[in-house]
Amino acid sequence: MSENFPEFPDLSNAPAETNANASTPDYAGFTQTPEGFRSGFVSFVGRPNTGKSTLMNALVGEKIAIMADQPETTRRPIRGVVNREDAQVIVVDTPGVHRPRTLLGQRLNEIVKDTYQDVDVIGFTVPADEKLGPGDRYILEEIRAAKPKTPIVGIVTKLDKVPKDVVGERLLEMHEYLGKDVELVPVSAKDRVQLDVLMDVLVSKLPEGPRFYPVDQVTDEGVEARIEELIREEALSGLREELPHSVAVQIDEMHPDPERPDRMMIYAVMFLERPGQKRIIEGPGGRRLSGIVHRSRKQIMELVGQNVYLDVRLKVLKNWQEDPKALGRLGF
């Protein structure tokens, strides 16, 4: 596993279980695991905009990854934790694999390849409302070249968007691409259709092992990183063409209000590539930016559980998607 994954707690002195089929509470939120318990990492891999983030959020039961209509919304691997009595599944949402147009795009593809090197199962995702094409075949070839022995599960997403006969077409295409020995699961994250079936299939392919995370933890994403993504998600709303890819957000400062301990002060910077983009984000009279701040603040308050003062400043970082130094500054 990757060195970034959490270390296991030392359970050598933990009390022995009296019932091998029961989970008993342990320190730090961990529980001892019953016999036959399975655990591992499952990566959802596919083209941009195939519903990977929506699916992960639905499985975890909480919004971990942001969602937007634009492709290439996800920019880094995001881990969500699904706890069951018989298993702990760490779902890894990855950026969509695509033909890169920028240095950022190249690095996102590299991130995906690095990510699925360290997982136990790969969920190959395709949307029910789009035919499979050369891009899907390319991704599958890359996966099988890098991880020839890793189990693959075919996942057809967005069942709610098409009639049953179209779903049948996708399943036949998936059989042709993946082979008839690969299990296929059609799902709708939006309507929560067949999510339990998908989890059963994924768990069946995981190795036996202990928990990686405490039972009350749903992600290892830091609060600041989640706040940055929530702001970016609201900024992406309604944007078209190349502008969504030019938006990046960083928390500049975050601390309790010294005058009001019940309020968190958050100062963020939204980076854009050109002055014209800044004017688009601001909108007439600054109204669009005000709406972004207002909607972001509501989601952030839900996340941190307290009142929030949010300040978002716009800054032009010329052509940051092609600038290695700028990408490093922004964490890519």
Return the closest-CA partner of residue 250 out of 222, 277, 216. Answer: 222
**Is 151 within any annotated ligand binding site?**
no
Output DSSP code: residue 320: G
**Is 97 within any annotated ligand binding site?**
yes
Residues 65, 70, 75, 77, CA torsion sign? positive
**Is 96 within any annotated ligand binding site?**
yes
**Is 275 within any annotated ligand binding site?**
no
**Is 77 within any annotated ligand binding site?**
no
Write the DSSP string, 146-206.
H-TTS-EEEEEE-GGGS-HHHHHHHHHHHHHHH-TTS-EEE-BTTTTBSHHHHHHHHHHTS
Q: How far is it, in rounded angstroms, from Cα 143 to Cα 116?
A: 8
**Is 291 within any annotated ligand binding site?**
no
**Is 47 within any annotated ligand binding site?**
yes
Q: Which residue type does 84 have?
A: R
**Is 257 within any annotated ligand binding site?**
no
Residue 39, φ and ψ in degrees, nearest 5? -155, 155
Burial bucket for residue 222 (CB in 10 Å: 0-12, 13-18, 19+): exposed
Terminal-to-terminal C-alpha distance of the chain: 21
- Cβ atoms of 172 and 179 within 8 Å: the answer is no
**Is 215 within any annotated ligand binding site?**
no
- What are the beta bridge partners of residue 82? 89
Burial letters for 151-168: b for 16+ Cβ neighbours within 10 Å, e otherwise?
bbbbbbbbbeebeeeebe
HSE (side-chain half, CA atoms, 13 Å) at 98: 20
Q: Which residue type does 152 have?
A: I
**Is 53 within any annotated ligand binding site?**
yes
**Is 94 within any annotated ligand binding site?**
yes
Return the closest-CA partner of residue 198 out of 51, 96, 75. Answer: 51
Would you give the distance in Å from CA 285 to the centre of its chain? 34
How big is the CA angle at 115 (ends 111 and 119), to the nearest 5 degrees?
Answer: 170
**Is 73 within any annotated ligand binding site?**
no
**Is 157 within any annotated ligand binding site?**
yes
**Is 48 within any annotated ligand binding site?**
yes
**Is 54 within any annotated ligand binding site?**
no
Q: How far is it, in rounded angstroms, from Cα 73 to Cα 71?
A: 6
| Residues in the annotated binding site for GTP | 46-53, 93-97, 157-160
| Residues in the annotated binding site | 46-53, 93-97, 157-160
